[in-house]
Every structure is written in structure tokens, then in C-alpha cells.
Homo-oligomer: A and B are copies of this chain.
Amino acid sequence: MKKIAVLTSGGDAPGMNAAIRAVVRKGIFEGLEVCGIFNGYQGLIDGKIEPLSAGSVGDIIQRGGTMLRSSRCPEFKTERGRERALDQLRERGIEGLVVIGGDGSFRGALELSKAGFPCVGVPATIDNDINGTDYTLGFDTALNTVIDAIDKIRDTATSHERTFIVEVMGRDAGDLALWAGVAGGAETILIPERPYDLGEIVSRLQQGKDRGKKHSILIVAEGVMGGQELAAGLMDDAGIETRVSVLGHIQRGGTPSGRDRVLASRFGARAVEALLAGRAGVAVGMREHAVIDYPLAEVFDGGDAKDLGLYDLSKELSI
């Protein structure tokens, strides 16, 4: 293998740039040429491909977003689109591809791999919802962004003795809401992986009030329902007045945390190693404190039961 390429796809996540840097530098260290593909799979189809030097990825490890940009690409979901992509790669003598993104992006990588082109996926999404890895790039940074917001909101909640609802991202996954809720000292946390009972929430709020707790923070994962919907429910069912804060897109950006930068460096390097070792059609990941790679197919296989011990702990600590 003499030439590889790297692209970012799907929603951006802090640490993508650090991963691009690692792929490029590790590749060059191993004697490879490395190309950057701009605008994700769409750019691949359109041939927006340029060689990257060690210097071209300098001073990006600390930046949010992705210097290669990202975009949606319906065309890539068609066989015709993927054929055009493969043509672009072959034309340039590119022999391996690193795809940095979430599970939607990994599906594309799996398809290319099935078509015989060596691909490796690097999991990057603040949602931490990719089967087979304990952590995805961006999750740690987003966690810190969310708890910073909760800390700020708590200032007002305490000063005004109010109940706040904070809506947190995560698509169908509750990890970000759960970790942020525990770290933020939230009184109640709602995640899609667990059923909730409005009556129980109301009675917890009431009990807190009876014990003299005059403010309260509820975290709701967007996968459960919107913050406004929960507020309406609490008002309708129990006459409880709340304020809602929908954190929104600030959760996706920002300079990556130390943890995310180190993880990105490891993931990027491992992806190059996997390509060089001929292990294609794999994703890199973190499992039991070790960097590994594993078949991309596992990402789409139902998924192992998540450990939700943290959820139970959150209830015990918010008494």
C-alpha cells in the first residue's frame, strides 16, 4: 500500500481534526502518501481530493469542526454513486480509505469494503452510540460543554428557586444525557434506554421540596422527548412550573478536550495500522481500556446490552 485517503462524514464532532492529523502523520511516518477528501462522500464522488503534507495538518489538533468539511450524500447510497467514488479512488492510485464519522458514515465504508476497497472507520460522534467501542470521538468534549451549561443554569435555578429542564443531544442514545446528568448533579435524568413515569418525577420533585430543596434540574435526552414537551407535561399533570433550556448545536463544537485529542490520535494511528496490516472493513474503537479494531459489521448487529449501572447510581446520589 502506497497511498491512502481520509474523509470526514456525518455530523461534525470535536476531535475530527485531531484524527485527520493522526491519519496523515502516521501515514507519512509509515512511508505512505496521504490524500484528504473534502466534503465527505459527495466530495469523493466529485473528486475533491488533494494530497496532504505533515505541515498541512499542523495547528489543527485543538480546533473543533473538520478541516475536510462534511456533508450529506444521498448519491453515495446508490450503487452508481459508489461506482463513481471507486473510480475516483482508483484513478488516483489510492489503495485505502479512512472514514471518520458516525454509523451512517460507517455504512458507506462497509459498502465500499464489500466492493473490495479497503476501508477503516474511526468513530466520531458526540452521541457515543456506536456499537463495539466504549467511547466515540467528541463525546468527552460534549460532556464538558453540557456540564458547563448545567453549572451556569444551576446559578439561576438556585438564585430563583426554580426547576429547570435541560434538553441534551444524543439522538436515540442516552449516554450524553446520563453522564452529564450525573456530572451536573441533576435531580432527574430521562434517557431513551429506560422508561420514565411522569408521576414518579412529580413525586420526586415534591419530596425534594418537602425536604427544603428549592430548586431542581431535570435532564432530558432528545431521544425521549423535547424539553418543551416535558415542561408541558409537568404543567398539565401537576401544575409544576419549569423553565426549559434546549442546548442545541453548541454541543457539537468547541476545542476538543484532552481526552478526545488523545483518543483521536490513537484512533487515527490505529486506522492506518489496520490498513497496512490488511485488516479492511473494520472500525477502530476503545474496549476494556485498549485500542482495538473490529469488523464494521458488528456496528450494525443489534448491539450489546449497555451497562446502565450509572443510571441506577444517578438515582441514589440525587437523594
* Minimum CB–CB distance for A141 against chain B, Å: 9
User: With an 8 A cutoff between CB atoms, is A78 at the interface?
Assistant: no
Partner of A246, one of B58, B183, B248: B248
Cross-chain contact B262 with A259 (CB below 8 angstroms): no
Cross-chain contact B70 with A160 (CB below 8 angstroms): yes
User: With an 8 A cutoff between CB atoms, is A266 at the interface?
Assistant: yes
Q: How large is the interface on A (under 10, 10 to 19, 20 to 34, 35 or more residues)?
A: 35 or more
User: With an 8 A cutoff between CB atoms, is A254 at the interface?
Assistant: yes
Distance in angstroms between the alpha carbons of A245 and B252 in the assembled complex: 12
Cross-chain contact B134 with A289 (CB below 8 angstroms): yes
Partner of A144, one of B213, B258, B310: B258
* Minimum CB–CB distance for A218 against chain B, Å: 13
User: With an 8 A cutoff between CB atoms, is A64 at the interface?
Assistant: yes
User: With an 8 A cutoff between CB atoms, is A65 at the interface?
Assistant: yes
Cross-chain contact B313 with A266 (CB below 8 angstroms): yes
User: With an 8 A cutoff between CB atoms, is A296 at the interface?
Assistant: no
User: With an 8 A cutoff between CB atoms, is A121 at the interface?
Assistant: no
User: With an 8 A cutoff between CB atoms, is A277 at the interface?
Assistant: no
With both beta carbons as reference points, the residue of chain B lying nearest to A257 in the complex is identified as: B144
Contacts of A318 in B (CB 8 A): 25
A63-86 CB mask vs B (1 if < 8 Å, else 0) is: 111100111000000000000000
Cross-chain contact B183 with A249 (CB below 8 angstroms): no
Contacts of A183 in B (CB 8 A): 61, 258-259, 261-262, 265
Binds B, one of A104-112, A145-153, A192-200: A145-153
Partner of A289, one of B71, B160, B287: B287
Distance in angstroms between the alpha carbons of A147 and B15 in the assembled complex: 14
Contacts of A149 in B (CB 8 A): 250
* Minimum CB–CB distance for A196 against chain B, Å: 20
Cross-chain contact A143 with B258 (CB below 8 angstroms): yes
Cross-chain contact B65 with A316 (CB below 8 angstroms): no
A12-B156 CB under 8 A given contacts A261-B183, A288-B288, A317-B269: yes
User: With an 8 A cutoff between CB atoms, is A274 at the interface?
Assistant: no
Known: A28-B319, A184-B261, A257-B257. 16 other contacts (CB 8 A): A21-B185, A26-B317, A55-B213, A62-B154, A64-B156, A65-B154, A140-B258, A143-B258, A152-B249, A153-B250, A180-B258, A182-B265, A245-B250, A246-B246, A265-B317, A269-B316
Interchain residue pairs with CB less than 8 A apart (5):
A12-B159, A21-B185, A164-B249, A183-B261, A245-B249
